[in-house]
C-alpha cells in the first residue's frame, strides 16, 4: 500500500514538470526525419472565420506586394531641359531689348563726323590770330603744328613726326606749285631758330607767316571741297 501511494503521489509532480518543460521549450517538438517538401513562394490563403467561430472558406491575400527596389537618386532630365529652355528664352529676350534700346537712341560711343582738313586748319588759324600777347616761340610752335597737320591730312605723309631736315626734302614731292614750295621751305628754315633757339620775331613777320599758311591752305584745297 505504501509503495502504491508513493507512486501515485509522484505521478502528478512529473506531469506538472513535463508541462513546465514543454512551455519553456515553446511547445516545439522535433519531427522525425522525413522527406523535405519545398515551401511555396506564393502567399498562403488566409482562413476567414465564421460568426460561430468555425473556419470558413479560404481567402487569398491580394493586398501583399513585394518591396519596391530603391529608386536611383539624381537630376531629372526633363527638369534640366526646362531650365535650359528658360535660360535660352531669357537670353533671347534680353538681346532683343538691348538691340531695341540701341536703335531708339544714338550711342554715345558713335564717332563724330570728321571735318575736312582745310576746315580744321582755318579754325586753328583763326584761334591763333585772335590770341593776344603770345610769345613768338609759342606762336611758331602752334603755327608749325597747324601747317604740318594740314599737310599730313591732305597729302598723307607723316609730316607731324618728321624733323625739319626730313620735312624740307619731302616738300618737293607735294602737289603744289614751285613758288609755294620755295616759300614753304623758307618758312620752315626761319621758324626753327625761333622755336628752338629763342630768336626774336616781330609782330609783322608773325602776321605775314600766318597769312602765308592761310593762303597755302586755300590754294591747295580742291575746288569741290572748297565750295
78 vs 191, higher pLDDT: 191
CB count within 10 Å of CB 150 equals 23
pLDDT of residue 51: 54
pLDDT of residue 102: 77
Going by pLDDT thresholds of 50, 70 and 90, the confidence category of residue 22 is very low
Provide the H-helix boundaries in the chain.
2-24, 77-104, 117-129, 136-155, 164-171, 178-197, 203-220, 223-226
With 90 as the cut, is the pLDDT of residue 56 above it? no
pLDDT of residue 70: 63
Distance CA 159, CA 165 (A): 11
pLDDT of residue 219: 93
166 vs 66, higher pLDDT: 166
DSSP track, 94-146: HHHHHHHHHHHS--TTSPPPPPPHHHHHHHHHHHHHT--S--HHHHHHHHHHH
Burial of 146 (0-12, 13-18, 19+ CB in 10 A): buried
Lowest mean pLDDT among 42-51, 136-145, 177-186: 42-51
In the block, cell 602765308 appears at 212
Find out whether 213 and 143 touch, Cβ atoms under 8 Å: yes
pLDDT (tens digit per residue) in 83-134: 888 888 888 888 888 887 777 765 555 566 788 999 999 999 999 999 988 9
Query: Average pLDDT over the chain, rounded to whole?
Result: 76
pLDDT of residue 110: 55
pLDDT of residue 165: 95
With 50 as the cut, is the pLDDT of residue 2 above it? no
Going by pLDDT thresholds of 50, 70 and 90, the confidence category of residue 223 is confident
Amino acid at each position: 500500500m505504501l509503495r502504491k501511494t508513493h507512486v501515485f503521489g509522484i505521478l502528478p509532480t512529473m506531469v506538472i514538470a513535463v508541462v513546465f518543460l514543454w512551455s519553456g521549450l515553446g511547445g516545439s517538438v522535433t519531427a522525425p526525419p522525413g522527406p523535405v517538401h519545398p515551401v511555396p513562394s506564393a502567399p498562403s490563403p488566409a482562413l476567414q472565420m465564421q460568426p460561430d467561430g468555425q473556419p470558413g472558406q479560404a481567402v487569398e491575400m491580394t493586398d501583399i506586394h513585394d518591396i519596391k527596389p530603391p529608386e536611383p537618386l539624381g537630376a531629372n532630365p526633363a527638369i534640366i531641359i526646362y531650365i535650359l529652355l528658360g535660360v535660352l528664352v531669357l537670353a533671347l529676350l534680353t538681346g532683343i531689348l538691348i538691340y531695341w534700346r540701341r536703335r531708339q537712341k544714338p550711342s554715345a560711343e558713335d564717332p563724330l563726323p570728321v571735318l575736312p582738313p582745310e576746315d580744321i586748319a582755318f579754325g586753328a588759324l583763326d584761334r591763333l590770330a585772335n590770341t593776344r600777347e603770345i610769345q613768338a616761340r609759342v606762336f611758331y610752335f602752334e603755327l608749325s603744328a597747324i601747317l604740318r597737320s594740314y599737310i599730313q591730312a591732305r597729302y598723307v605723309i607723316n609730316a607731324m613726326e618728321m624733323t625739319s631736315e626730313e620735312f624740307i626734302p619731302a616738300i618737293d614731292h607735294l602737289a603744289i606749285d614751285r613758288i609755294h614750295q620755295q616759300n614753304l621751305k623758307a618758312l620752315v628754315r626761319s621758324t626753327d631758330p625761333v622755336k628752338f633757339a629763342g630768336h626774336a620775331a616781330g609782330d609783322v613777320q608773325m602776321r605775314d607767316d600766318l597769312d602765308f599758311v592761310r593762303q597755302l591752305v586755300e590754294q591747295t584745297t580742291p575746288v569741290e571741297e572748297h565750295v
